[in-house]
Amino acid sequence: MPSSYHHLTHEERCQIYALRKSGLSGPATARQLGRDRTTVWREASGNWSVRGYRHRQVHGKASA
């Protein structure tokens, strides 16, 4: 893992949720956040349910 790795914050997860819901692509969302596109892709794809990206539940699990 790179030494510059930082977990996504709750605010970043909320932004991913809002930007993706507005129709912005994954790479465009990553640019908006200043994050690597792979980080955003993994976050969204690994935490998607029938009801969409569950940013609140994801952050709760990540904080635990």
pLDDT digits (tens, 9 = 90+) for 40-63: 888 877 676 666 666 666 666 666
pTM assigned to the model: 0.68
Long-range contacts of 14-19 (CB under 8 A, 24+ apart): 14/55, 16/40, 16/43, 16/44, 16/53, 16/55, 17/52, 17/53, 17/55
What sign for the dihedral angle of Cα 9, 37, 46, 3?
negative
Task: Say whether pLDDT at 5 is over 80.
Answer: no
CA distance 26 to 1: 22
What's the confidence (pLDDT) of residue 24? 92
Element (H, E) at 28: helix 26-33
Q: What is the percent of the chain where pLDDT is above 90?
A: 28
